[in-house]
Amino acid sequence: MGAAAEAALAAAATGFGVGISLILAIGAQNAFVLRQGLRREHVFWICLTCALSDALLIAAGVGGFGALAAAHPWLERAMTLGGAAFLLAYGAMRLRAALHPSALAMAQGAAMPLRAALGATLALTWLNPHVYLDTLALIGAVGARYAGAERLAFGAGAVTASFAFFFALGYGARALAPLFARPQAWRWLDLGVGALMWTLAFGLLTS
């Protein structure tokens, strides 16, 4: 293996490591993917939407879009307010669902239509200011250390991390299906997700 190939491989490994370390943090998007994976509803399309969204944002970050956001501070403020409003609304929905155990079992309750599921996925992704910090700012800053083929390899590694994580989370959630066959388990999951959404929202508003 030549020096150029080794350098590109090292950059890709760094990109994968940075990407996976940022995405592992529990957040609104991950909680939604986990919940839909447990319910086995539109798992492929939700995971694909999350991964492709990350890929676009990572490409923009590695390409230098972070400088534009830094030049226009109002963008961060607008994203913060929009994200907080969505998190508060979605958290309220999950807390309300926790009050109705009969609707919580996987075999019961109306399934979320694909269009609604994708809409929620896109909102939880693109209205979350933290995703811009992670992809445009942090990944973009690390990627700026590379040039040419190495920068492309770094971005590819970070994108690969997103695809691997989301599909592992969505389909891996099925291993927990026996536990969540009980309505009481869904009650606690919805309570936890709702509390997480509100905590994130208030954190955005007070940061």
* pLDDT, one tens digit for every residue, the chain (207 residues): 677 788 888 888 888 887 777 776 657 788 889 889 988 899 999 999 999 999 999 988 888 765 565 666 676 677 667 667 766 877 787 788 777 654 334 444 567 899 999 999 999 889 877 787 777 767 776 777 777 888 889 899 999 999 999 999 899 888 877 776 677 776 787 787 778 768 867 776 776
pLDDT (0 to 100) of residue 207: 62
* Rounded distance between C-alpha atoms, residue 163 and residue 54, angstroms: 9
Q: What pLDDT score was predicted for residue 79?
A: 60
Tokens encoding 144: 């700026």
Residues of the domain holding 93: 3-206
Number of neighbouring beta carbons within 10 Å of residue 117: 20
Dist CA 196 CA 174 (whole Å): 22
Report d(CA 100, CA 207) in Å as an integer.
33
pLDDT value of residue 105? 45
d(CA 24, CA 21): 6
- Do residues 200 and 87 lie in contact, with contact meaning Cβ atoms separated by under 8 Å? yes
The CA–CA distances, whole Å, from 171 to 35, 125, 183 equal: 11, 19, 21
> 139-166: string of b/e by CB count within 10 Å (b at 16+)?
bbebbeebeeebbbbbbbbbbbbbbebb
**pLDDT for residue 9:** 87
Note the pLDDT of residue 174.
80
pTM: 0.69
Q: How far apart are CA 44 and CA 27, in angstroms?
A: 19
Q: At a CB cut-off of 8 Å and minimum separation 6, what does 131 contact?
A: 29, 53, 54, 57, 125
Q: Do the beta carbons of residue 142 and residue 14 sit within 8 Å?
A: yes
The DSSP symbol for 1 reads -
Per the structure, the count of domains in the chain is: 1
What are phi and psi for residue 146, nearest 5 degrees? -105, 165
| CA pair distance 116, 113, nearest whole angstrom | 5
